[in-house]
Amino acid sequence: IDFPAIREMHEASSLADPEEVAAWREGAMPTTRTELPLGTPILLEPLADDELPQESIEEVIIRRGSARQFSHEPMTFHELSTMLHKGTNNIPADFLQPQGISLAEVYLIVNAVDGLQPGKYVYHRDSGTLESILPGDFRIEAGRMGLGQALAADASVNMYFLSDLESILNRFGNRGYRAAQLEASITAGRIYLAAYALRLGATGLTFYDDAVTDFFSPHAERKSVMFLLAVGRRPRRR
Q: Tell me the per-residue pLDDT of 55-82, one tens digit each, with 9 for 90 and over.
A: 888 889 888 888 899 999 999 999 999 9
pLDDT for residue 15 is more than 90: no
Say whether 15 sits in a helix, a strand or coil: coil
Confidence label for 35 from pLDDT (cuts 50, 70 and 90): low
Domain count, the chain: 1
Q: Rounded distance, CA 169 to CA 190, Å?
A: 25
In a domain, 238, yes or no: no
What pLDDT sits at residue 39? 67
- 66: domain CATH number is 3.40.109.10
Residue 186 lies in a domain: yes
Q: What is the arithmetic mean of pLDDT over 124-131?
A: 92
Whether 203 is covered by a domain: the verdict is yes
The answer to whether residue 14 is domain-embedded is yes
Q: What was the pLDDT predicted at 24?
A: 65
- Strands (E) in the chain, as ranges, are 42-43, 75-76, 105-110, 113-114, 119-124, 129-135, 157-163, 201-204, 224-232
Residue 237 belongs to some domain of the structure: no
User: Is 122 domain-assigned?
Assistant: yes
Backbone torsions φ then ψ of 135, nearest 5 degrees:
-75, 155
Q: How far apart are CA 184 and CA 84, in angstroms?
A: 13
* pLDDT over threshold 80, residue 161: yes
Amino acid 115 reads G
pTM (2 d.p.): 0.88
The answer on pLDDT for 227 being more than 60 is yes
**Confidence band (pLDDT; 50, 70, 90) for 33?**
very low
Residue 119: give the domain boundaries: 4-232
- Give 10's pLDDT tier (boundaries 50, 70, 90): confident
The residue count for the chain:
238
> Nearest 5°: phi and psi at 10?
-60, -45
State the average pLDDT for the chain. Answer: 88
| Res 38: pLDDT | 61
Q: Select from 39, 165, 38, 170 the least CA-distant residue to 105.
A: 165
